[in-house]
Structure 1
Amino acid sequence: MGRTNPTFRDLLSRIEDEWGDFRRALRRRHQPVFDRLFTYAREHADAASHLNHPDRLAPVLMSVALEQEARIDELEERIETLEQQRDDRE
Protein backbone atom coordinates (compact mmCIF):
# COMPACT_ATOMS: atom_id res chain seq x y z
CA MET A 1 0.00 0.00 0.00
CA GLY A 2 1.27 3.50 -0.85
CA ARG A 3 1.74 6.42 1.37
CA THR A 4 -1.22 8.72 1.88
CA ASN A 5 -1.03 12.48 1.79
CA PRO A 6 -1.43 14.24 5.13
CA THR A 7 -4.80 15.82 5.70
CA PHE A 8 -5.09 19.57 5.92
CA ARG A 9 -5.78 19.19 9.63
CA ASP A 10 -2.49 17.30 10.00
CA LEU A 11 -0.71 20.00 8.04
CA LEU A 12 -2.33 22.69 10.16
CA SER A 13 -1.16 20.99 13.35
CA ARG A 14 2.39 20.92 12.00
CA ILE A 15 2.24 24.59 11.05
CA GLU A 16 0.92 25.46 14.50
CA ASP A 17 3.78 23.48 16.07
CA GLU A 18 6.30 25.29 13.85
CA TRP A 19 4.98 28.63 15.12
CA GLY A 20 5.15 27.49 18.75
CA ASP A 21 8.32 29.43 19.56
CA PHE A 22 6.78 32.58 18.08
CA ARG A 23 3.65 32.07 20.17
CA ARG A 24 5.64 31.59 23.36
CA ALA A 25 7.59 34.79 22.64
CA LEU A 26 4.39 36.81 22.34
CA ARG A 27 3.14 38.80 25.27
CA ARG A 28 0.68 36.78 27.31
CA ARG A 29 -2.26 38.97 26.24
CA HIS A 30 -1.54 38.24 22.55
CA GLN A 31 -1.28 34.46 22.89
CA PRO A 32 -5.07 33.85 22.95
CA VAL A 33 -5.41 36.06 19.88
CA PHE A 34 -2.75 33.98 18.12
CA ASP A 35 -4.61 30.79 19.11
CA ARG A 36 -7.84 32.22 17.72
CA LEU A 37 -6.23 32.54 14.28
CA PHE A 38 -5.61 28.80 14.21
CA THR A 39 -9.17 28.23 15.40
CA TYR A 40 -10.31 30.19 12.36
CA ALA A 41 -8.15 28.02 10.12
CA ARG A 42 -9.55 24.81 11.66
CA GLU A 43 -13.10 26.04 11.02
CA HIS A 44 -12.34 26.07 7.29
CA ALA A 45 -10.26 22.89 7.17
CA ASP A 46 -12.81 21.04 5.04
CA ALA A 47 -12.71 23.70 2.34
CA ALA A 48 -8.94 24.07 2.58
CA SER A 49 -8.43 20.34 2.11
CA HIS A 50 -9.94 20.65 -1.38
CA LEU A 51 -7.47 23.33 -2.41
CA ASN A 52 -4.16 21.41 -2.33
CA HIS A 53 -2.33 24.73 -2.71
CA PRO A 54 1.46 24.62 -3.17
CA ASP A 55 1.86 27.31 -0.50
CA ARG A 56 0.72 25.60 2.66
CA LEU A 57 0.08 28.90 4.46
CA ALA A 58 -2.25 30.24 1.75
CA PRO A 59 -5.38 28.35 2.92
CA VAL A 60 -4.57 29.25 6.54
CA LEU A 61 -4.32 32.94 5.69
CA MET A 62 -7.48 32.84 3.56
CA SER A 63 -9.36 31.15 6.42
CA VAL A 64 -8.22 33.86 8.82
CA ALA A 65 -9.22 36.57 6.34
CA LEU A 66 -12.66 35.00 5.85
CA GLU A 67 -13.33 34.84 9.59
CA GLN A 68 -12.11 38.37 10.15
CA GLU A 69 -14.26 39.66 7.30
CA ALA A 70 -17.28 37.88 8.78
CA ARG A 71 -16.50 39.43 12.16
CA ILE A 72 -16.25 42.90 10.60
CA ASP A 73 -19.63 42.36 8.91
CA GLU A 74 -21.16 41.30 12.22
CA LEU A 75 -19.75 44.32 14.05
CA GLU A 76 -20.91 46.71 11.32
CA GLU A 77 -24.42 45.28 11.60
CA ARG A 78 -24.34 45.72 15.38
CA ILE A 79 -23.18 49.32 15.01
CA GLU A 80 -25.92 50.01 12.47
CA THR A 81 -28.54 48.51 14.79
CA LEU A 82 -27.30 50.53 17.76
CA GLU A 83 -27.21 53.72 15.72
CA GLN A 84 -30.77 53.07 14.50
CA GLN A 85 -31.95 52.49 18.08
CA ARG A 86 -30.26 55.70 19.18
CA ASP A 87 -31.85 57.63 16.31
CA ASP A 88 -35.27 56.19 17.13
CA ARG A 89 -34.98 57.44 20.73
CA GLU A 90 -34.03 60.97 19.70
Structure 2
Amino acid sequence: MGRTNPTFRDVLSRMEDEWSDFRRALRRRHRPLFDRLFTYAREHADAASHLNHPDQLAPVLVSIDLEQEDRIDELEERVETLEGRLEDIPGDAETPAEREG
Protein backbone atom coordinates (compact mmCIF):
# COMPACT_ATOMS: atom_id res chain seq x y z
CA MET A 1 0.00 0.00 0.00
CA GLY A 2 1.10 3.53 -0.71
CA ARG A 3 1.63 6.39 1.63
CA THR A 4 -1.54 8.30 2.55
CA ASN A 5 0.22 11.55 3.44
CA PRO A 6 2.86 13.41 1.44
CA THR A 7 6.31 13.62 3.02
CA PHE A 8 7.12 16.79 4.90
CA ARG A 9 9.72 17.65 2.28
CA ASP A 10 6.98 17.39 -0.37
CA VAL A 11 4.78 19.67 1.72
CA LEU A 12 7.62 22.21 2.00
CA SER A 13 8.28 22.10 -1.71
CA ARG A 14 4.59 22.70 -2.44
CA MET A 15 4.51 25.59 0.08
CA GLU A 16 7.51 27.21 -1.58
CA ASP A 17 5.71 27.00 -4.91
CA GLU A 18 2.54 28.47 -3.40
CA TRP A 19 4.50 31.38 -1.92
CA SER A 20 6.50 32.10 -5.07
CA ASP A 21 4.32 35.09 -6.09
CA PHE A 22 4.77 36.57 -2.61
CA ARG A 23 8.52 36.04 -2.84
CA ARG A 24 8.67 37.71 -6.25
CA ALA A 25 6.80 40.73 -4.86
CA LEU A 26 9.29 41.19 -2.02
CA ARG A 27 12.05 43.73 -2.27
CA ARG A 28 15.18 42.13 -3.67
CA ARG A 29 17.03 42.50 -0.35
CA HIS A 30 14.30 40.54 1.48
CA ARG A 31 14.24 37.55 -0.86
CA PRO A 32 17.31 35.85 0.64
CA LEU A 33 15.76 36.28 4.10
CA PHE A 34 12.55 34.68 2.88
CA ASP A 35 14.53 31.82 1.34
CA ARG A 36 16.36 31.34 4.64
CA LEU A 37 13.05 30.66 6.39
CA PHE A 38 12.45 27.67 4.14
CA THR A 39 16.03 26.55 4.73
CA TYR A 40 15.29 26.62 8.46
CA ALA A 41 12.18 24.52 7.90
CA ARG A 42 14.14 21.98 5.85
CA GLU A 43 16.66 21.69 8.70
CA HIS A 44 13.89 20.12 10.81
CA ALA A 45 12.10 18.13 8.10
CA ASP A 46 12.92 14.80 9.72
CA ALA A 47 11.41 15.82 13.05
CA ALA A 48 8.41 17.44 11.37
CA SER A 49 7.69 14.32 9.36
CA HIS A 50 7.23 12.39 12.60
CA LEU A 51 4.64 14.88 13.79
CA ASN A 52 2.15 14.45 10.92
CA HIS A 53 0.32 17.56 12.17
CA PRO A 54 -3.07 18.37 10.59
CA ASP A 55 -1.96 22.01 10.12
CA GLN A 56 0.99 21.70 7.75
CA LEU A 57 2.17 25.23 8.50
CA ALA A 58 2.59 24.56 12.25
CA PRO A 59 5.78 22.46 12.01
CA VAL A 60 7.19 24.93 9.49
CA LEU A 61 6.69 27.81 11.90
CA VAL A 62 8.08 25.87 14.87
CA SER A 63 11.13 24.91 12.79
CA ILE A 64 11.71 28.55 11.90
CA ASP A 65 11.27 29.53 15.56
CA LEU A 66 13.82 26.92 16.66
CA GLU A 67 16.41 28.13 14.18
CA GLN A 68 15.84 31.77 15.12
CA GLU A 69 16.13 30.92 18.82
CA ASP A 70 19.42 29.20 18.05
CA ARG A 71 20.66 32.30 16.22
CA ILE A 72 19.57 34.54 19.10
CA ASP A 73 21.49 32.33 21.56
CA GLU A 74 24.61 32.49 19.38
CA LEU A 75 24.38 36.28 19.09
CA GLU A 76 23.83 36.71 22.82
CA GLU A 77 26.95 34.62 23.49
CA ARG A 78 28.93 36.76 21.05
CA VAL A 79 27.72 39.95 22.71
CA GLU A 80 28.69 38.61 26.15
CA THR A 81 32.13 37.65 24.85
CA LEU A 82 32.67 41.08 23.29
CA GLU A 83 31.42 42.87 26.40
CA GLY A 84 33.83 40.77 28.47
CA ARG A 85 36.70 41.75 26.21
CA LEU A 86 35.77 45.42 26.53
CA GLU A 87 35.77 45.13 30.31
CA ASP A 88 39.28 43.63 30.16
CA ILE A 89 40.68 46.62 28.23
CA PRO A 90 42.69 48.81 30.60
CA GLY A 91 41.88 52.49 30.73
CA ASP A 92 38.42 53.96 30.40
CA ALA A 93 36.08 51.54 32.18
CA GLU A 94 33.03 53.46 31.05
CA THR A 95 31.07 51.85 28.20
CA PRO A 96 29.75 53.92 25.27
CA ALA A 97 26.21 53.52 26.63
CA GLU A 98 27.30 54.86 30.02
CA ARG A 99 28.93 57.87 28.37
CA GLU A 100 25.71 58.69 26.50
CA GLY A 101 23.48 58.38 29.53
TM-score range, shorter-chain basis? over 0.9
Pair 1:38 & 2:44 matched: no
Give the ranges of 4+ consecutive aligned residues of structure 1 lying more than 6 Å apart after TM superposition.
Answer: none
TM-superposed CA distance for 1:47, in Å, is 0.4
TM-superposed CA distance for 1:6, in Å, is 1.2
Structure 2 residue runs of 5 or longer lacking an equivalent are 91-101
Paired residue secondary structure (1:53)? coil
* Distance in 2 separating the partners of 1:71 and 1:3: 39
So what's the TM-score if we normalise by structure 2? 0.85
* Residue of structure 2 equivalent to 1:70: 70
* Distance in 2 separating the partners of 1:3 and 1:16: 25
TM-superposed CA distance for 1:3, in Å, is 3.2
RMSD, matched Cα: 0.8
TM-superposed CA distance for 1:18, in Å, is 0.4
TM-superposed CA distance for 1:21, in Å, is 0.4
* Residue of structure 2 equivalent to 1:3: 2
Q: Greater Rg, structure 1 or structure 2?
A: 2
Percent identity (aligned)? 78
**How many pairs align?**
89
